[in-house]
Amino acid sequence: MDNSSNFDEISEPGYQPSPSSFDQNDQSTVETPVYSTMSGDSSMFGRTYSETSAFSDPIDDNSYSSEPSPSHWPVTKSGARDQAIFGRLEMKQQKQVVDDKLDDQESVDLELETMKERFSKLLLGEDMSGSGKGVCTAVTISNAITNLYATVFGQNLRLEPLKPEKKSMWKREMDCLLSVCDYIVELVPKSQNSRDGTTLEVMESRPRSDIYINLPALTKLDEMLIEVLDSFQDREFWYAEQGSMSSNSTRSGSFRRVIIQRQEDKWWVPVPCVPPDGLSEKSRKHLRHKRDCAYQTHKAAMAINSSILAEMQIPHTYMASLPKSGRACLGDTIYRYLYTADRFSPDHLLDCLNIASEHEALELADQVEASMYTWRRKACLSHSKSSWDMVKDLMSDIDRTDKNHVLAERAETLLFCLKQRYPELSQTSLDTCKIQYNRDVGQATLESYSRVLEGLAFNIVAWIDDVLFVDKSVRTQDQ
């Protein structure tokens, strides 16, 4: 059968063959369907200028032989309009993607520049001249953690979640500053069995003990404090700035006078406001629970900070600045009580002193601490006759009856009770001197991290107390 008969069998009414669909020189039309524009594959997947949108109607696979060739499909006005609309939408989507990529790149570049700046300051020791007169690495890291805390939490004076950018900044930069602790290790002996059965003792590196114990605990305390702030997303109370109390902030200003009298030395702290009937029982229970969490966190951070400071070496500059007489440093009243009392009671002594402010408490702490180390130095000098005499004194309790040793022990007990009575007490002169002259990077990192967490926990407790105090004042007025 010839080609014309084959064509008559497959042709249907309305079919218009393309000039290139067959050739007189071809031997068989069966050998060339894959390359012909009449084939089912090419008609299904071929794309012309009028078929560029993915939103066009699907083509029935069984109807391709009864439809005109794609090159002869008419282009209607509605199809052209849809094509233009889809083209504009596609351009807008591409432009939005490009803008998002540019914004992300700018954000990454800004963060990278910030990290370069911080890293450079760490290397330079905060000496921008580059002359090598900067502080040591330990002090630089300590200052960096303190400054980061001031940047993130310095303006946050309310019980509310941190802003996402501040929270991200705190986590990102603290991870960088704490990463140095991953490389502070100590070598410990370890037994290792060889292939021939002999036991060898090798040195193995592991994280230093103080970092291994304290750093995970501080990280957990950090997460707990952030969770406490996040829990105040939905709250019944609100805040009003000092001097900008609106008429709808509260029904009366009486509680504001109370809270200002209670915090007259902190006039910049926003004033908490509660509904006219006070807080609900559920809200008060939530506040008390979060206060207990923050208080326990404060105690844990303070204990870690005190232990790290106690491990730091006392600088020679502090020992050189001590007075020659502990009595002259403390005064006759306190010295007489420390020396003559048969049963020493530090609480009774503190009650008799009538300390009126934190400033007086801090001044007394500096005096007691200085006199304590003065008496300790005298006790050491009085027993430094010879090595044999030192051994005999250590084996006996003769030194415990020494006047300087007794005074130093009582001064230490008095200082401990003073810090317990005033937990918000600032750092003493010795603590500041230790931080300033410390050269241990691990101790500096742990001390500064625990110090800022201690301050944040104390602030959260104080903010919760303010809200509860205002709520109690409003409910008392109703009664």
> Mean per-residue pLDDT for 307-321?
92
Q: Is the pTM of this model over 0.85?
A: no
Report the pLDDT value the prediction gives residue 6, as an integer from 0 to 100.
45
Q: What is the DSSP letter of 231?
A: T
> Mean per-residue pLDDT for 12-34?
43
pLDDT greater than 90 at residue 379: no
Query: What percentage of residues in the chain have a pLDDT greater than 90?
Result: 35
156: left (phi over 0), alpha (psi -120 to 50) or beta: beta
Kindly report the average pLDDT of the chain as a whole number.
Answer: 76
Q: Where are the alpha helices (DSSP H) in 341-402?
A: 346-353, 358-382, 387-395
- 218 to each of 215, 289, 305, 446, 448, how far by Cα in Å? 5, 21, 10, 8, 11
pLDDT: is 151 or 265 the higher one?
151
Report the pLDDT value the prediction gives residue 299, as an integer from 0 to 100.
92
Tell me which H or E stretch contains 396: none
Which of the four pLDDT bands, split at 50, 70 and 90, describes residue 333? confident
Report the pLDDT value the prediction gives residue 59, as an integer from 0 to 100.
43
In one-letter notation, the amino acid at residue 42 is S
Q: What is the DSSP letter of 130?
A: -
Please, which residues have CB within 8 angstroms of residue 348's CB and are 6 or more apart in sequence?
Answer: none
Report the pLDDT value the prediction gives residue 128, as an integer from 0 to 100.
76
> Mean per-residue pLDDT for 33-55?
39
pLDDT greater than 80 at residue 282: yes
pLDDT: is 452 or 188 the higher one?
452
> Mean per-residue pLDDT for 273-278?
87
Which of the four pLDDT bands, split at 50, 70 and 90, describes residue 103? low
pLDDT tens profile 194-247? 888 888 888 888 899 999 999 999 999 999 999 999 999 988 889 886 544 443
Token pair belonging to 215: 């750093």
Report the pLDDT value the prediction gives residue 327, as an integer from 0 to 100.
86
Q: Is the dihedral of CA 260, 263, 269, 274 positive or negative?
A: negative
pLDDT greater than 50 at residue 11: no
